[in-house]
Amino acid sequence: MDHIRWLLGRTAAALLTLLGVSVLIFAAVRAMPGSYTDLVLGPLATRSEKAAAAARFGLDRPVVEQYLYWLRNAVQGDFGTSLAARTPVATEFGDRLPVTVTLTALALALTVLIGIPLGVYTGTREGGGRGGAAGRLVSAFGMSLPEFVLGSLVVFLFTRYSLGLSVGTYVPWSQDPLGSVGSLFLPACVLAVFCVAATARTTRDAVLGVLVEPHIAAAVARGEPKGAIVRHHVLRNAAVPVLTLVATLTAYLLGGTVIIERLFNVPGLGSYLVDGLDRRDYAVVQAGVLLAAAVFITMNLLVDLVSGLVDPRIGTVGKRADA
């Protein structure tokens, strides 16, 4: 019963946050200097021409009315029409979403396959001393490489010295699935560097945190082999923070691949969003940000649910401590 109430509370809070995001993004887009009519009609348009264009897109209505209209349609999956391209935003999203999802999936696969084992390895073999310092240095280095620096470097190396993978040419999935993955491999690697370093570090910290707990000492005293202890006791208990991080990284990748998409010329959601911002394309910006925030909020909600399953104390203990 406690669990269900906690679950409902979390869901309601998530929806409330999303509503807050929608208000904020709507207000921000309206607060930008320079309106759509200025950009599309140019500086020589007369007042009446501007008024006519504004009326056609409903931009002359009161802001609150515009907001409610937009929200009602957005809930039903209609994000309006791109003012610049005159195409439905939802269609464009449908075309671009697979690109960003493939990119994210590739980067995440690298992250999970490299980051978690690396973290468990360094965590269980924490000798301190030189090994520890080297590990810290490497992970700090990985986390300090901004994607625009590393990305620029990769673009340079792969264009200057033909190293096998082409840069800046995206191959659609429908044309050549393998080639599509190949064309997204480099940007995914650049994205993954930070994620791998962060995941390895968090996993290592979580493992170290579990290893000092009394039940591990008890398992050692019972004479359980080390591998079994790591598999049965450590991994499960260290899972929650790692899970949280991986979910956060997923949301970050899905909503934040703006720079990498620009750099590698990938026609995904991030580049669509920033291009929309440049053109004051209200519908695109609003829908893009709302989608990114919705992904982020949903991921966080999922993490809460899954951590509740992995660790049943969450939700009940926290509640009592709050009261």
Partner 1 sequence: MRAAAVRVRRALAMRSYDGLFRAAVWVLGVLLLVTLAGPFVGVGGQPDAIVGPRLMPPGAGWPLGTDNLGRSLLPRLLQGIGTTLLLSCLAVACTALISTALGVIAGYRGGRTAEVILRIGDVLYSFPAIVLAVLVAAVLGPGRTAALAAIVLVTVPLMTRMVGTAARAVARREFVTAARISGVRAPTIMLRHILPNVAGTVAVQGTYALSVGILVEGGLSFLGYGVQLPDASLGLLIQEGGLYMVGAPWLIVAPGVVLVAAIMAINLVGDSLRDRFEPRETRSLV
Q: Which residues bind partner 1 (CB under 8 A)?
A: 13, 16-18, 20-21, 24-25, 28, 31-33, 124, 126, 133, 136-137, 140-141, 143-149, 152-153, 155-156, 159-160, 208-209, 211-212, 216-217, 220, 226, 229-230, 234, 251-252, 255-256, 258-259, 262, 273-274, 277, 285, 288-289, 292-293, 296-297
In the complex, the smallest distance separating the C-beta of residue 181 from partner 1, rounded to whole angstroms, is 24
From the list 135, 200, 170, 196, the residue with the least C-alpha distance to 262 is 170
Please say which residue, 47 or 160, places its beta carbon nearer to partner 1.
Answer: 160
Q: Is 81 helix (H, G, I), strand (E, B) or coil?
A: strand
Task: Give CA–CA dist 289/266, Å, rounded.
Answer: 18
Please say which residue, 19 or 113, places its beta carbon nearer to partner 1.
Answer: 19
Give 3-state DSSP helix, strand, coil % of the chain, rounded to 5.
80, 0, 20
CA 191 to chain centre: 11
Please say which residue, 171 or 208, places its beta carbon nearer to partner 1.
Answer: 208
Q: Is 232 helix (H, G, I), strand (E, B) or coil?
A: helix
Token pair belonging to 304:
């809460």
- Contact between 283 and 83 under an 8 Å Cβ cutoff? The reply is yes
Question: What amino acid occupies position 17?
Answer: T
Q: Is 149 exposed, middle or buried (0-12, 13-18, 19+ CB in 10 A)?
A: exposed
- Residues 266, 271, 272, 278, CA torsion sign: negative
Task: Give CA–CA dist 200/293, Å, rounded.
Answer: 26
Please say which residue, 77 or 227, places its beta carbon nearer to partner 1.
Answer: 227
In the complex, the smallest distance separating the C-beta of residue 131 from partner 1, rounded to whole angstroms, is 13
Please say which residue, 97 or 277, places its beta carbon nearer to partner 1.
Answer: 277
In the complex, the smallest distance separating the C-beta of residue 230 from partner 1, rounded to whole angstroms, is 7
Residue whose pair of structure tokens reads 């000492």 in the numeric block: 217
Please say which residue, 180 or 258, places its beta carbon nearer to partner 1.
Answer: 258
Please say which residue, 24 or 63, places its beta carbon nearer to partner 1.
Answer: 24
In the complex, the smallest distance separating the C-beta of residue 242 from partner 1, rounded to whole angstroms, is 17
In the complex, the smallest distance separating the C-beta of residue 11 from partner 1, rounded to whole angstroms, is 14
Please say which residue, 180 or 201, places its beta carbon nearer to partner 1.
Answer: 201
Task: Give CA–CA dist 303/245, Å, rounded.
Answer: 9
In the complex, the smallest distance separating the C-beta of residue 161 from partner 1, rounded to whole angstroms, is 11
Residue 81 phi, psi (nearest 5): -115, 135
Token pair belonging to 117:
């084992």
In the complex, the smallest distance separating the C-beta of residue 46 from partner 1, rounded to whole angstroms, is 26
Computed on alpha carbons and rounded to an integer, the radius of gyration of the chain in Å comes to 24
In the complex, the smallest distance separating the C-beta of residue 187 from partner 1, rounded to whole angstroms, is 15
DSSP letter assigned to residue 87: S
